[in-house]
């Protein structure tokens, strides 16, 4: 039996496991990817090296390619699918560091091949997708646009523009506010667009255009509308927390890591959770003040990059909103709630279980996605019914 189980192998989960392991706790770290690091540290980021070394030196058990498909808070158990085989993991304390996913807002043509999320395209490039000489339009909202555009340029891509939906006034106030966050100011300075890349505030994609795959996008900036040719589109509007497992467990007996403030915040929250779970509240307390400062920057980000109301009207009646079940906006409008849309139109009933369409529907129609049920991810039926040995 593992004393402390941590779900999620990104910076927060790695930090939590590292400090808990240093306290001589028995720690198991679960991650659904083949290697630790999460999206931020994917591909062997040098910043991850000292943290990963701490895990190995402290004897943390690392289980990768392990996806939690169900859980029972009353009995402190998780059902884990590892490469198609099921195992039951028992814990005394549980830390959820399940990270976040990108928020996608449907627009005409968003289902065309080569239209993908900002972080999704970055992950593919890190995994070997060649983009040298390819024209890539980066759009959506938040500082990640700049970071990914810089990464794509280093890989030889042509980034003609970055379309940021936040307006000029909000961005100007954000720039002034960075004076109290000198570290962030330096990071922002390093991410300034190249002269060949236009940074367009108050701008967003209205539609993707192409036959068979994306060939261009239609952009709007105020009253100006134009088409921009491209080979790829990287588009996302911030992040949505992966809280399905926390909801399923009812947050009973769970030390849940909450918040999405970047790697700095993740590391701080991870260390606080790890020390707390290991019974070292004094060590956890020393990170509270830095976390408060980091959270002030997170609130500034939320305020600056709040989504504009015009984005609620991107999807047209014939636009597919639920990609798993091919549910259009017109069909959704025949329902009056998320539950009704699921029952009558199968919205959110596909393999992603509403992870993509749920937040979009919430933004467009104001319905709150509910009813999280196991399995959280597709798994073999036999894994749900067979007796599995406890780990």
pLDDT tens for 141-163 read 999 999 999 999 999 999 999 99
Is the pLDDT at 164 greater than 50? The verdict is yes
Give percent of the chain with pLDDT exceeding 90: 76
Q: What residues form DSSP beta bridges with 63?
A: 30
Report pLDDT for 372: 84
Report residue 81 as tokens: 């699918």
Closest residue by Cα to residue 261 from 242, 245, 244, 239:
239
pLDDT band at 279 (very low <50, low <70, confident <90, very high): very high
Q: Which of 47-56, 194-203, 249-258, 329-338 has the highest mean pLDDT?
A: 329-338
DSSP code string of 9-41: -SHHHHHHHHHHHHTT--EEEE-SSSSSSTTTT
d(CA 70, CA 353): 14
Report pLDDT for 258: 47
What is the tens place of the pLDDT at every residue in 115-127? 999 999 999 999 8
Is the pLDDT at 257 greater than 50? The verdict is no
Report pLDDT for 253: 43
Decide if 231 contacts 52 (C-beta within 8 A).
no
Task: Specify burial of residue 225 (Cβ count, 10 A radius: 0-12, 13-18, 19+).
Answer: exposed
d(CA 2, CA 76): 11
pLDDT band at 252 (very low <50, low <70, confident <90, very high): very low
pLDDT band at 189 (very low <50, low <70, confident <90, very high): low
Task: Tell me the average pLDDT across 197-219.
Answer: 97
Decide if 166 contacts 202 (C-beta within 8 A).
yes
Report pLDDT for 187: 64
Domains and CATH numbers, the chain: 2-101+240-300 (3.50.50.60), 104-237 (3.50.50.60), 315-365 (no CATH)
Closest residue by Cα to residue 352 from 318, 327, 387, 383:
327
* φ, ψ dihedrals at 302, nearest 5°: -60, -40
Is the pLDDT at 371 greater than 80? The verdict is no
Report pLDDT for 262: 82
- Residues with Cβ < 8 Å from 229, sequence gap 6 or more? 135, 215, 216
Between the alpha carbon of residue 77 and those of residues 89, 378, 379, the distances in Å are: 6, 19, 17
Report pLDDT for 56: 86
CA atoms within 13 A on the CB side of 247: 12
Report pLDDT for 182: 64
Task: Tell me the average pLDDT across 321-341.
Answer: 96
d(CA 106, CA 128): 27
Q: How distant is the alpha carbon of residue 128 from its chain centre?
A: 21
Q: What residues form DSSP beta bridges with 4?
A: 27, 93
10 Å Cβ neighbour count for 24? 11
pLDDT band at 383 (very low <50, low <70, confident <90, very high): confident
| CA torsion through residues 217, 218, 222, 224, sign | positive
Q: From start to end of the chain, where are the E strands?
A: 2-7, 27-30, 61-63, 66-72, 77-82, 85-96, 100-102, 115-116, 136-141, 161-164, 198-201, 203-209, 216-221, 224-229, 232-237, 239-241, 254-256, 320-322, 327-328
Residue 375, preceding peptide bond in cis (omega within 30° of 0): yes
Q: What is the pTM of this model?
A: 0.89
Is the pLDDT at 256 greater than 80? The verdict is no
The three-state secondary structure class of 204 is strand
Q: How far apart are the first and last CA of the chain?
A: 6
Report pLDDT for 356: 95
Report pLDDT for 1: 43
């Amino acid at each position: 039996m593992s004393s402390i189980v941590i779900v999620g192998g990104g910076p927060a989960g790695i930090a939590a496991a590292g400090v808990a392991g240093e306290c001589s706790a028995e720690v198991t770290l679960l991650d659904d990817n083949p290697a630790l690091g999460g999206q931020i540290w994917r591909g062997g980021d040098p910043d991850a090296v000292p943290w990963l070394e701490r895990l190995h030196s402290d004897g943390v058990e690392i289980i990768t390619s392990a996806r939690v498909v169900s859980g029972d808070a009353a009995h402190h158990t998780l059902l884990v699918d590892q490469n198609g085989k099921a195992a039951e993991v028992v814990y005394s304390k549980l830390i959820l560091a399940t990270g976040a996913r990108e928020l996608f807002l449907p627009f005409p043509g968003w289902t065309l091949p080569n239209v993908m999320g900002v972080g999704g395209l970055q992950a593919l490039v890190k995994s070997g997708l060649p983009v040298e000489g390819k024209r890539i339009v980066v759009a959506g909202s938040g500082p990640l646009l700049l970071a990914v555009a810089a990464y794509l340029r280093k890989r030889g891509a042509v980034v003609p523009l970055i379309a940021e939906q936040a307006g000029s006034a909000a961005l100007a106030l954000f720039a002034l506010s960075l004076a109290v966050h000198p570290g962030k100011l330096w990071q922002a300075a390093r991410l300034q667009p190249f002269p060949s890349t236009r940074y367009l505030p108050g701008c967003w994609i209205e539609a993707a255009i192409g036959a068979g795959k994306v060939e261009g996008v239609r952009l709007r900036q105020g009253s100006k509308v134009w088409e921009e040719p491209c080979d790829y589109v990287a588009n996302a509007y911030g992040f949505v927390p992966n809280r399905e497992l926390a909801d399923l467990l009812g947050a009973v007996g769970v030390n849940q890591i909450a918040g999405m403030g970047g790697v700095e915040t993740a590391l701080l929250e991870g260390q606080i959770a790890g020390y707390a779970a290991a019974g070292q509240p004094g060590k956890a307390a020393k990170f509270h003040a830095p976390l408060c400062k980091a959270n002030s920057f997170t609130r500034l980000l939320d305020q600056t990059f709040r989504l504009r109301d015009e984005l609620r009207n991107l999807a047209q009646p014939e636009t597919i909103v639920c990609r798993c079940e091919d549910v259009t906006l017109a069909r959704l409008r025949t329902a009056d709630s998320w539950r009704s849309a699921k029952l009558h139109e199968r919205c959110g009933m596909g393999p992603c279980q509403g992870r993509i369409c749920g937040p979009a529907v919430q933004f467009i129609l104001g319905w709150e996605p509910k009813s999280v049920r196991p399995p959280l991810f597709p798994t073999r039926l036999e894994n749900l019914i067979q007796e599995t040995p406890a780990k």
